[in-house]
Amino acid sequence: MSVFRYAHFIVNNMETLFQKLIGTWTLVELIEIPLNGGENSHPMGENPKGLIMYSADGFMSAQIMNLNRKNTDLKDHSEQNTEETSDYLAYSGPFETDDEKKTISHKMFVSLFPSWTGETQKRNVRFEDGFLYLETEKPFLRNSRMVKHRLTWRRI
């Protein structure tokens, strides 16, 4: 290994998880993994679109949408129902990292889903081949089965 490559390796491995996250990432894939070993699914469609941004001041914002969502022409937005909002996810707020556990905590200051506001959701974090992988730390119930979500992000 050349001296330059070795120095680059050392510097990259000294960065904190917080430092590695800073920036804007675009969604590559969102898969739902059932804990019972069933088939994985794509709750936001095969080609979801999304951005997640982490700022150096400790705040983040995430937006994810199903590209096949229905185009509604509602004049009164209060009529939108759960079916339409299930094709879009948005939240933002402060975040904290834990280098030892390799986790990030997203604190929901605001959210499209009112029940998420004020919650803290943890994600397991992994970096590999230039991609950021976030996976829900705790399984949750969706469509009568316990699942986890794994999201793959690429830095913009």
Please name the residue that has the structure tokens 């469609």: 45
Predicted pLDDT of residue 83: 45
For the segment 17-63, what is each residue's pLDDT rounded down to a tens digit? 999 999 999 999 999 999 988 899 999 999 999 999 999 999 999 99
For residue 132, pLDDT beyond 50:
yes
- If phi > 0 it is left, if psi is from -120 to 50 it is alpha, else beta; for residue 151 that is beta
Task: Set out the domains of the chain in order of their start, with CATH numbers.
Answer: 17-155 (2.40.128.280)
Can you give the pTM of this predicted structure? 0.82
Query: Is residue 125 within 8 Å of residue 104, measured between CB atoms?
Result: yes
* Average pLDDT over every residue of 126-144: 94
For the segment 50-103, what is each residue's pLDDT rounded down to a tens digit? 999 999 999 999 999 998 876 665 554 444 444 445 789 999 999 999 999 999
For residue 1, pLDDT beyond 80:
no
Show the tokens assigned to 111: 């959210």
Q: How far is it, in rounded angstroms, from Cα 86 to Cα 112? A: 10
* Average pLDDT over every residue of 122-151: 94
Q: Residues with Cβ < 8 Å from 151, sequence gap 6 or more?
A: 27, 29, 30, 50, 133, 134, 135
